Chain A
């Protein structure tokens, strides 16, 4: 009773390697007074990711090239960088889509420490400022709280955030004014503001109604385009603005 199907010829074909040319913005605080560009050429497969290519440089040409990375498949949020002018994760962008001429820079708006590594502390401080945790007064007792599928769906999109900072560091307002909490912090506030179990929406809306909050947003949509998780970031920001204006969550 073995069931069968028509075999489909899927071949993750192994095409020939191509030459990939990288221009990387380097900065070594122990030696350089200012950043400079360095060129590398490596052989890579079209199916290699930008992270693979950076590893090839680091592991075979120049061990001093420095960048953060961990999971290498787009869930840990370590390797946000500017690839050909756009904020992306190095690990989910293939040479076949980004091309063989790459310009790679650190994300903008956060202080550069070394090569592609920036100081993430201001970003996480902004995240922490929006009370990014469930706040309730009630005692649910020894059982789960109920939440309908519709209520759960209401904030599903913003639960996907991996705090990679692609959105915040693509925002022109953030570049100009680092006191703006930025889209990532708003996304994480949204995740709780619209969670039916949470009771601190008004505190968060008060925080985001301040000068550093949502009103800085100029809806450039850079954040939405940059999000590697496909979150509708601008929509989330707009929903928070509306909640402040109309006192509705």
Chain B
């Protein structure tokens, strides 16, 4: 196995929206390398559809404080309010920046950036839905990814495409410990690359492939969080995982909330608009956790549709066909492709789909990674985007706030890293730092056990969707915990077919499965400990929010023996006192 050594000031791992936005801050100002296991334009930011909220007030009165209130309430009061204020205030600049970068937003008749309604976004603290989401048809994420990539091309950013990071390197001990670099595996050659770097920013996205029904790409396997988790960095709030209400039935492919923002209606198998009962004011535009639970309840009550009564409908048939073509062309195309249904004429079968990790690598508002619940920073280590937990989404993310998160905190993380690297010495990495990765790869290739990666992954996904998704109980979570423990044992006996060095995805899938298993374990342990229902975390055996005991974030630590321990960090409140969440 060949090993190459590189030296940089800043290494960014992941080239979706957050990584590219960070690269725009550092490129040309310090030696920057961007590592991605894909090509940048393949990143899953490109699959985001509906929009990015910012209180531009282009089409009706709005303010960033209203946006912040909605985000706090949407988070079920678990989001840290100072961080939410930063995000919602900077949202306006972030949209303007993107426009200046060339993003082709949809426009109003006056030529301004158009805005539309989105779930949980309201005027004046919940009075009525507000038009806050800036969008580009139903491919806003595609446009953001393309635009940021274009800007990186313009800045001649140094990309290492199809380089997958499998380890992090630190220097110093105890309180002197700081970031020193990463070890990456080059897919095209199987070579290892040691990147010594003063600063490293992780922006590797989510880990939705631990679920069977998922809107996530095959490649969303939590590599960044997985690598850091094993290196001793805690994970925050893993139990909060969002299930998007409108995934294509059986497939999980996302159909944007923008479809409901344009007037789409959810109906049960009897044709009833059930969201009227659940959220009388905002109806179908209630936040995702509430809508997903409402769908679950309809199905459980026998009011689902189809032969097994296990889905409901997203109905667009009453919308003008030209509005569908102009505003929702991509998602209606997906429906035609995968279900063979014409959404202008027939309602679309949907079910909740695993969509977004609210939890992840704990950071402050500058993207600096925290190593404990006392906000201790590990110098030089940064994270941004879905892999990170600031926490601005708390227990439930509002639609559009993910695209906002990546550009706001990608920028902040990049800026902070650029500042940090100015006065630190270059890390000294001993030769052989790639040793542990080399050993893992070699032992994976030498594995002679009888276990197959795909079988373990399929069982993990089935368990997580059955026992740790929209509705959970102590019993279901214990079951999932036991299954995961068994799968982790079997994982040690994995055997792969491909022993080669060139594009060995058989090997990388096996490595990725290790990350998914660890993170799933963390999710389930956190969910079992949290004996309350808050946001996306619903416990049938503890169906109320418990503000006395649980206004706190969980920090999961993965021990060397593979066990997970939890500690806790209080939620940072602001001007909004927790109150009952009604829409």
Q: Which residues of A contact B (CB under 8 A)?
A: 1-8, 10-13, 28-31, 47, 58-60, 62-64, 66-78, 92, 94, 96, 113-115, 117, 120, 124, 128, 132-134, 140, 142-149, 151-152, 155-156, 159-163, 192, 195, 197-198, 230
Whether the pair B272, A4 counts as a contact (CB closer than 8 A) is yes
Name which residue of chain B comes closest to A142, CB basis: B96
**Which residues from A are CB-within-8-Å of B267?**
4-5
Name which residue of chain A comes closest to B56, CB basis: A144
Whether the pair B111, A66 counts as a contact (CB closer than 8 A) is no
Q: Which of B277, B307, B317 counts the most A-chain CB atoms under 10 A from its CB? A: B307
A199 and B188 alpha carbons, distance in the complex (Å): 38
Whether the pair B146, A159 counts as a contact (CB closer than 8 A) is yes
Whether the pair B497, A114 counts as a contact (CB closer than 8 A) is no
Interface check B395, CB cutoff 8 A: no
Whether the pair A75, B142 counts as a contact (CB closer than 8 A) is yes
A-contact 0/1 string along B203-246, CB 8 Å cutoff: 00000000000000111000000000000000000000000000
Whether the pair B136, A7 counts as a contact (CB closer than 8 A) is no
Whether the pair B111, A148 counts as a contact (CB closer than 8 A) is yes
- CB under 8 Å from chain A, chain B span 323-346: 330, 333-334, 337-341, 346
Whether the pair B113, A144 counts as a contact (CB closer than 8 A) is yes
Contacts A12-B339, A71-B217, A94-B338; A63 near B154 (Cβ below 8 A): no
The secondary-structure label for the interface of chain A is loop
Interface check B362, CB cutoff 8 A: no
Whether the pair B42, A145 counts as a contact (CB closer than 8 A) is no
Whether the pair B307, A47 counts as a contact (CB closer than 8 A) is no
Interchain residue pairs A-B with the least CB separation, the first 3: A134-B102, A63-B497, A59-B454
CB distance from A44 to the nearest CB of B (A): 14
Of B165-173, B375-383, B406-414, B501-509, the one with at least 4 CB within 8 A of chain A: B501-509
**Which residues from A are CB-within-8-Å of B105?**
152
Contacts A63-B498, A198-B102; A72 near B41 (Cβ below 8 A): no
**Which residues from A are CB-within-8-Å of B217?**
70-72, 76
Q: Which of A70, A160, A230 counts the most B-chain CB atoms under 10 A from its CB? A: A70
Whether the pair A145, B271 counts as a contact (CB closer than 8 A) is no
Other than the given A3-B272, A10-B346, 7 more pairs (CB < 8 A) read A4-B267, A63-B496, A75-B142, A115-B503, A142-B96, A159-B143, A230-B333
Partner of A47, one of B56, B338, B347, B497: B338
Whether the pair A2, B273 counts as a contact (CB closer than 8 A) is yes
A223 and B112 alpha carbons, distance in the complex (Å): 34
Partner of A28, one of B276, B349, B502: B502
Whether the pair A8, B347 counts as a contact (CB closer than 8 A) is yes
Whether the pair B109, A64 counts as a contact (CB closer than 8 A) is no
**Which residues from B are CB-within-8-Å of A195?**
102, 104
Name which residue of chain A comes closest to B334, CB basis: A73
Name which residue of chain B comes closest to A159, CB basis: B104
**Which residues from B are CB-within-8-Å of A142?**
96
**Which residues from B are CB-within-8-Å of A10?**
305-306, 313, 339, 341, 346-349
A107 and B232 alpha carbons, distance in the complex (Å): 43
**Which residues from A are CB-within-8-Å of B504?**
66
- CB under 8 Å from chain A, chain B span 129-148: 136-137, 139, 142-143, 146
A64 and B102 alpha carbons, distance in the complex (Å): 42
**Cross-chain pairs A/B with CB under 8 angstroms, 28 sampled:** A2-B272, A3-B273, A4-B267, A4-B270, A4-B272, A10-B305, A12-B339, A47-B338, A66-B498, A66-B504, A70-B44, A70-B219, A72-B217, A72-B218, A75-B47, A75-B139, A76-B46, A113-B503, A114-B502, A114-B503, A144-B96, A145-B99, A159-B136, A160-B142, A162-B142, A163-B41, A195-B102, A197-B102
Interface check B151, CB cutoff 8 A: yes
Whether the pair A78, B143 counts as a contact (CB closer than 8 A) is no
**Which residues from B are CB-within-8-Å of A74?**
334, 337
CB distance from A72 to the nearest CB of B (A): 6
Contacts A63-B498, A162-B41; A132 near B153 (Cβ below 8 A): yes
CB distance from A241 to the nearest CB of B (A): 23
**Which residues from B are CB-within-8-Å of A76?**
38, 41-44, 46-47, 217
